[in-house]
Structure 1
């Protein structure tokens, strides 16, 4: 049996989007209450009944959450232009080596706007 498990994380951060035209409101400093969903997929181990230990996802995510939460995202190496698209790719590069089966990262910047990223191609 194949399943996908998803673990959610939340953080608050400020950002500017420096590549936008000068009159775009998001070029100015602003903040979001971000929600990140990390999905891992694989075969269910019939002996223990799960795909993956959620604690392993947290072990990989917690140092990144410490870096992101209540930060100015533009100051983090690799996030100089912290669009949710760039943030998703950044998270993927950090997490993929530690999380076999990583299949999707979703980043919500508002309750109605999000990016779905399924790996680098």
Structure 2
């Protein structure tokens, strides 16, 4: 029996995209509220009933939130091009070594109706 558990967190950050032409609204510095959902998939451990310890996952995501919240994402090491795609991959790379059963990372910008899911 395979189940998926998930944890969500949010952060607010700014970014810019230099590849857009002058005058394009995404070229200049602008900000968003981002929401992240990370999911782990597997069979519950017979001894605990857990796929993973959600408290531990919450702590790991808290560390990521601190690295991203109220930052200029372009200045975060590894996020020079901070698209939804690259943010989801950046988070995956930081969680996957700790959570072998990580199944997806989804980034949402609810105000724009946009999201991206990375499954490794």
TM-score by length of 1: 0.91
Name segments (4+ residues, structure 1) moved above 6 Å. none
Residues 63-91 of structure 1, C-alpha deviations (whole Å, 9 max, x = no match):
21111011111110111110010111111
Q: Is the 8 A contact 1:60 1:99 kept in 2?
A: no
Describe how 1:60-75 pairs up with structure 2 within 5 A: 60-75=60-75
Structure 1 residue 27, shift from structure 2 partner: 1.2
Q: What residue ranges of structure 1 are gaps of 5+ in the alignment?
A: none
Question: How far off is 1:23 after superposition?
Answer: 3.7
5+ residue gaps, structure 2: none
Tell whether 2:75 aligns with 1:82: no
The equivalent of 2:103 in structure 1 is: 103
1:24 positional shift:
2.5
Shift of 1:20: 2.5
SS in 2 for 1:25: coil
TM-score normalised over the length of structure 2: 0.92
Q: Which range is displaced more, 64-73 or 12-21?
A: 12-21
How big is the shift at 1:54?
0.5
| Residue aligning to 2:21 | 21
The total of aligned residue pairs comes to 119
RMSD: 1.2
Partner of 1:113: 114
